[in-house]
Amino acid sequence: MKKVKLFKRENGENVLVGTYKNKLAAEQEVLTITEDNNELDEDDADNEDAVTVFDFFTEEVEDAPRVTSYEEACERVGVEPLTEERIKALELRPDEVARKKLEVITAALNEGWSPDWNNTNEYKYYPYFYIESRKRSASAGLSCAHAKYAASYTYASIGSRLCFHDHETARYAGKTFTELYEQLLLQ
């Protein structure tokens, strides 16, 4: 099965925007991005930084099977898997082990894409979980940081190494690696 990768030309480089089921889905994403980025006043009509459909191009690629295990993700990314020996030597807690594994899995699933945190118009996705209180006595967020009523106001709802380039990949990761996310969130 083929997939379509969408790229944007930025500063002489081709940046991966995301991977889509078909060309129509990629084109729809281009329209969404250009509409969001170009809500300009009439005075700004000559803005050289305006994003147009001509800034994007697609490439059809053979869809590689998605990783189904941490070990497979390590192989695809080219890193050594964590061993029980190494985990004990580093004295890692279960949540730290899960985070490290999920970082590798996320890198493998993103296929070279990494989030541009300077680009507020670039969408970033992550799995969302509903945690039933009768099953667990805790509620948790994914790498949540919140400071209020101080010299500054900060809110981060997701760790930057754990986001995905599209919602389908985020959903796949959440469903396939639920146990690791549970270990990260609740232990």
With cut-offs at 50, 70 and 90, classify the pLDDT of residue 123: confident
pLDDT for res 39:
67
Q: 3-62: per-residue pLDDT in tens?
A: 898 999 988 889 888 888 889 989 998 998 888 777 654 455 556 667 889 999 999 988
Domain ranges of the chain: 1-63, 67-187
Query: Which residue type, as a one-letter code, is found at position 102?
Result: L
Average pLDDT across the chain, whole number: 81
What CA–CA distance (Å, rounded) separates 131 from 140?
8
Task: Compute the average pLDDT of residues 96-107.
Answer: 95
**CB of 170 closer than 8 Å to CB of 153:** no
Of residues 162, 180, 157, 176, the one with CA closest to residue 94: 180
For a pLDDT cut of 90, what percent of the chain falls above it?
41
